[in-house]
Every structure is written in C-alpha cells, then in structure tokens.
C-alpha cells in the first residue's frame, strides 16, 4: 500500500524537495494534500502534476484564483488557517510533513498528532515554542514524530535502542559569517546573510543559520525529540557539513552520520522509516572531501546561540518568547529595518520584557506569541537597532 502524504508548505524548499522524493518513488508514496501560504501558481502546478485529493491556500484572498486555476481537476480546494488545521485530520493520510515556516506550524501539527498521523517534522519552531506540550501529546496519542532536520535525522540514525546517550553533538556549518570579526558583522547586508555556504533553504532559516539562532533552536528541538537535557547537547562548528551530527555513548564511542548536504535524504528517511530506500544524487567521495574540520562556536560573536541556551535554562514560555521575537526580528532584517547584530539586541530586550510563565498551557503559548510580536515590533519602531 502506498503511503498517503500531506505536505504543509509544499511550495517551499523542504516541500519541493519532498515532492522530488515522491516523484522518485511513485510506487511507495502518493500525495494526499498540498498546502501553501501565498504561491498559488506553484501550488496549482504541483496539484496538476501530483493529483492530490485536496489543496489548501492559507491566504484566503488567493482562494478564487486557485479555485479558478484548478477548475478542470477533481481536486478539493480550501483556504485559510482553519482549513489547514482540518485537512491534516483526513482519514487516508499516513504522514504529515510539516514543512511550513514558523509558529504557524504549531496548531496543524498538534491536530495531526491528535488524529494519529505520523509527523515528519521539518517545522522546528513547533518544538521550540511548545516542545513539552507537543511531545507529551505525541506520547498520549501514540503518534510518532520523525525528524526531518538533517542534524536530528543524523542523531535518529545513530541512536541505539538499548543504550542510553551520553551526549548529542550537533554540527553547525557556522554560516556565511563564521570567520567574520565582530566589527565586520556590524555592517553585513541581507544579501550576504542570505548566501549560505552549503545549503539552499528558505529565507527565514537561512538568516537563522547566519546568526546561529538556527543551531540554538536545534538544541531545543533535540532536547524534546530525544529527551536529552541541554547540558548533554553540544554544538560543534563543522564548516564542510558532511557530518550531519553525532551521538556519544557512555563508553566514549561516537557514532556519526555522514553524507552530502542534501535534504532529500532526511525527508525520505522520515517517509520510509524504518526502511531505507534508494535515492538518486551525488554520493560522498572521500577523495574530494579529504579534510573535515571542527571548531568551538563563538558565543560572543553569535549571541543568538547564547540567548537560545539562556531561553532553555529559563524554561517555561521563554523558548516561545525567543521564537516570536526572532520571527519579528528576522522579518524586520529582511525588510532592511534593523541591522544583523540589532536582531540579537532586540531579541534580548524582548526576553527581558515579555511576561514569563513557568508552566504554560497551550492558551498561554498563544497569548505569549501575540504579546511578544507586539513588544518586539514596538521596540523596532521606537529605536534604531
Ligand atoms: P520556505 O520559506 O522555503 O517554505 C515555507 C513554506 O511554508 C512555503 O510553502 C510557504 O507557502 C509555507 N508557509 C509559510 N508561512 C505559512 C503560513 N503562515 N501558513 C501556511 N503556510 C505557510 O521554508 P523552508 O526552508 O522549506 O523551511 C520550512 C521549515 O523547515 C522551517 O521550519 C525550517 O526551519 C525547516 N527546515 C528547513 C530546512 C531546509 O533545508 N530548507 C532544513 C531543516 C529544517
Ligand atoms: Mg538543521
């Protein structure tokens, strides 16, 4: 039986690569639903090619345009955030790939978990915002959460059922500013920040990678996915992005997963687990990649990474606070409203201003996200960062 897959965010970097995986294995996978935020043309093209049962466009203003473009096809067309949350519950779906960006991924992911659909989780923000709640829900409903993030997929591939982990070692490329001085980082542009050395990804995660907020978020993601405290999760800078992450066991043995930087592999592994399937593409040639190097991350230059560790340490709704502040700061940086280093300033100020809640409920997370977006936007508007 073919696995029926719903892709939330099918027009993005992860979404389009997931469709390549499905195209390569028409005997294994079938698209049940595709969703996007704004990109009607691409979504319509994808629907024409993959024949899903349903498509959802989150932006309701684009509904008529999409409906019109797909009028000759037997596909159900829906619009709005509510429809997106409902589509994941559809009976035949086996796997929901959460490939949308940001806080907006939280509610549909929770709905899919409750509907007992296996989650192929790319949307790390879901676990940053509400990791405790989401993993408890997954346990309650016996719903598996399979990592798509390359580091977490690497760790997942290295784990041994019977042996506890001593340490998780997350590798980080260091991004485009790895070798920049603090002085140089003061004036970096959006164009420079959007040029990742090893990966081609959506704009938000590319900026997060340049600031290393992405790695901080990945520490939080790893904590919840694998139940390992942050004190046992180490970040090591590995500029070649060939080792995707490592696990150290109690006897000192370290297992690493290596491969070319290609997100199709972790996406496919989340679909095919526990099996491995064939996959086209360039293979790792050790003659070509004959030097693998490692460095300690610099928490003084990459303050976002330090702030993420602080958010974990303070706990409660602090990771939710840092996520919302970061979403607003990154959007402002992409609109040239604040500087690269200004993002850390504004995030830190928000963390010290927003209401702290030690044991948040889902409603508290929703309220926190709203409050923080307002605070961060006001800070950005009121002063020069
Ligand atoms: P992207 O910007 O390329 O694509 C985002 C997708 O989500 C698009 O299809 C867009 O239409 C949809 N979307 C955006 N906002 C939405 C909203 N409010 N409601 C509904 N849909 C919305 O992003 P990406 O690089 O594919 O990343 C997606 C997620 O995967 C992020 O959480 C990111 O952190 C994670 N991730 C990405 C990579 C990568 O290589 N790109 C690697 C690891 C993890
Ligand atoms: Mg990653």
Residue 383 has pLDDT above 90, yes or no: no
CB of 263 shorter than 6 A to ligand 1: yes
Percent of the chain whose pLDDT exceeds 90: 98
pLDDT of residue 384: 84
Q: What is the position in ligand 1's atom list of the atom closest to the CA of 263? A: 40
CB of 126 closer than 6 angstroms to any ligand 1 atom:
no
Q: Name the 3-class secondary structure at 145.
A: strand
Grade residue 145 by pLDDT with cuts at 50, 70 and 90. very high
Decide whether any atom of ligand 1 lies within 6 Å of the 266 Cβ. no
Q: Which residues contact 1 (CB under 8 A, 6 or more apart)?
A: none
Residue 363 predicted with pLDDT over 90: yes
Q: What is the mean pLDDT of the segment spanning 174-194?
A: 97
Which ranges of 159-212 does DSSP label H, i.e. alpha helix?
182-185, 190-193, 203-211
pLDDT interval class at 343 (50, 70, 90): very high
What's the gap in Å between 320 CA and the centre of ligand 2? 19
For 302-330, the pLDDT digits (tens) are 999 999 999 999 999 999 999 999 999 99
Average pLDDT on 354-375 reads 98
User: Would you state the pLDDT for residue 8?
Assistant: 98
**Which residue lies with its CA nearest to atom 23 of ligand 1?**
202
Q: At what angle do helices 213-226 and 318-334 cross, to 10 degrees?
A: 150
Q: pTM for the full model?
A: 0.98
**pLDDT-based confidence at residue 150 (cuts at 50, 70, 90):** very high
Residue 339, pLDDT above cutoff 90: yes
Q: Are 225 and 159 in contact (CB under 8 A)?
A: no
User: Which pLDDT score, from 0 to 100, does residue 307 have?
Assistant: 98
Structure confidence at residue 35 as a pLDDT band (50, 70, 90): very high
Report the percent of the chain where pLDDT is more than 70: 100
């Amino acid at each position: 039986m073919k696995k029926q897959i719903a892709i939330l965010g099918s027009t993005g970097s992860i979404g389009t690569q997931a469709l390549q995986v499905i195209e390569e294995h028409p005997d294994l996978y079938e698209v049940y639903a595709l969703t996007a935020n704004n990109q009607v043309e691409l979504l319509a093209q994808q629907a024409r090619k993959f024949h899903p049962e349903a498509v959802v466009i989150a932006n309701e203003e684009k509904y008529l345009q999409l409906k019109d473009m797909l009028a000759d096809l037997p596909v159900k067309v829906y619009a709005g955030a509510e429809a997106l949350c409902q589509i994941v519950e559809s009976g035949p779906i086996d796997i929901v790939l959460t490939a949308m960006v940001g806080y907006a991924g939280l509610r549909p992911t929770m709905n899919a978990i409750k509907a007992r659909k296996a989650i192929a989780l790319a949307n790390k923000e879901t676990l940053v915002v509400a990791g405790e709640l989401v993993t408890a829900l997954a346990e309650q409903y016996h719903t598996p959460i399979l990592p798509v993030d390359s580091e977490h997929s690497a760790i997942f591939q290295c784990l041994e059922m019977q042996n506890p982990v001593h340490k998780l070692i997350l590798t980080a490329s260091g991004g485009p500013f790895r070798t920049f001085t603090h002085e140089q980082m003061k004036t970096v542009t959006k164009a420079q920040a959007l040029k990742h050395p090893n990966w081609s990804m959506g704009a938000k995660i590319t900026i997060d990678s340049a600031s290393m907020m992405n790695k901080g978020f990945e520490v939080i993601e790893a904590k919840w996915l694998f139940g390992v405290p942050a004190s046992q999760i180490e970040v090591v800078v590995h500029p070649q992005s060939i080792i995707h992450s490592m696990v150290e066991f109690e006897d000192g043995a370290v297992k690493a997963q290596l491969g070319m930087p290609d997100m199709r592999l972790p996406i496919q592994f989340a679909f095919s687990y526990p099996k491995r399937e064939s996959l086209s593409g360039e293979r790792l040639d050790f003659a070509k990649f004959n030097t693998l190097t490692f460095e300690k991350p610099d928490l003084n230059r990459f303050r976002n990474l330090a702030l993420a560790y602080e958010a974990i340490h303070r706990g409660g709704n602090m990771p939710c606070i840092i996520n919302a502040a970061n979403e607003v700061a990154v959007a402002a940086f992409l609109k040239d409203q604040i500087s690269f280093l200004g993002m850390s300033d504004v995030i830190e100020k928000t963390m010290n201003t927003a209401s702290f809640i030690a044991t948040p409920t889902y409603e508290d997370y929703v309220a926190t996200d709203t409050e923080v977006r307002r605070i961060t936007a006001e800070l950005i508007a009121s002063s020069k960062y």
